[in-house]
């Protein structure tokens, strides 16, 4: 990995912190605002430089389409130290593996973790996520595209019955289950997509709405997990 400038390192740390806090990467506008750039374009140029240096990957057309690329080889270590680091990493992953059920399609009106909904189970490292998830949910469609959540991805979800404004939640509306960004109002709830091609869902009847969980991370390219 090529050496980062101080500004690039600052942006990389900001991305890591944002993912750790919210479960998802920041937008270009959020990076620009946090670091005092005049426009989101300045943030974009720094992100492209980080991508060229191999520390992140960018998803075209998604405002939160930033993915960290973990480096397995320390940049300033001998080959022996690098080998030792690799062994420690593998040992850590094996000893801290978390087995999560993968939920495919959810049948109307039945619990999300019902046995008939579980396609399979996957062993993952819980440190990949902002909080320890309880299950993986296969994403269907592109309504959350601009949050970097694409069709076929695996969304890591922590079970919860409440959430803060702005969090991405797994919500049940009547018999349907959907992933959207939560916005609470007095007397009603909005479930916001992250794609201008989709309309917000407005729920006024509390008896038709419940929160099943909070998104705490993402596994890209879940279509390849069969």
- Residue 110: pLDDT band (50, 70, 90) is low
Q: What pLDDT, on the 0 to 100 scale, is given for residue 74?
A: 33
* Dihedral sign from CA coordinates of 87, 218, 110, 210: positive
What are the catalytic residues? 143, 180
Question: pLDDT over 90 for what percent of the chain?
Answer: 19
Q: What pLDDT, on the 0 to 100 scale, is given for residue 192?
A: 93
Q: For 113-160, how does the pLDDT look when each residue is reduced to its tens digit (9 = 90+)?
A: 767 778 888 787 777 777 888 998 888 888 998 888 888 888 889 999
Question: What residues pair up with 102 in beta bridges, in sequence order?
Answer: 120, 136
What is the rounded CA–CA span in Å between residue 88 and residue 91?
Answer: 5
- Residue 162: pLDDT band (50, 70, 90) is very high
Strands (E), the chain: 56-58, 66-68, 98-103, 118-124, 135-138, 154-159, 168-173, 176-185, 188-192, 201-203, 209-219
3-class state of residue 10 by DSSP: helix
The structure tokens listed for 164 are: 């803060």
């Amino acid at each position: 990995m090529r050496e980062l400038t101080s500004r690039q390192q600052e942006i990389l740390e900001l991305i890591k912190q944002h993912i750790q806090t919210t479960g998802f990467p920041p937008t270009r506008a959020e990076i620009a605002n946090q670091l005092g750039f005049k426009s989101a374009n300045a943030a974009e140029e720094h992100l492209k430089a980080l991508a060229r240096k191999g520390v992140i990957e960018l998803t075209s057309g998604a405002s939160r389409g930033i993915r960290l690329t973990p480096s397995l080889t320390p940049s300033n270590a001998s080959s022996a130290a690098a080998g030792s680091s690799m062994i420690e990493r593998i040992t850590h992953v094996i000893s801290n593996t978390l087995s999560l059920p993968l939920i495919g399609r959810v049948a109307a009106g039945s619990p999300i973790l019902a046995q008939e909904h579980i396609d399979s189970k996957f062993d993952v490292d819980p440190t990949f996520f902002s909080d320890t998830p309880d299950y993986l949910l296969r994403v269907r469609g592109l309504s959350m595209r601009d949050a970097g959540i694409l069709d076929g991805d695996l969304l890591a979800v922590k079970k919860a019955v409440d959430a803060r404004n702005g969090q991405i939640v797994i919500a049940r509306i009547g018999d349907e289950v959907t992933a959207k960004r939560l916005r609470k109002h007095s007397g009603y709830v909005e479930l916001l997509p992250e794609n201008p091609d989709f309309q917000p869902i407005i729920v006024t009847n509390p008896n038709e709405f419940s929160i099943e969980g909070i998104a705490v991370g993402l596994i890209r390219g879940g279509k390849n997990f069969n």
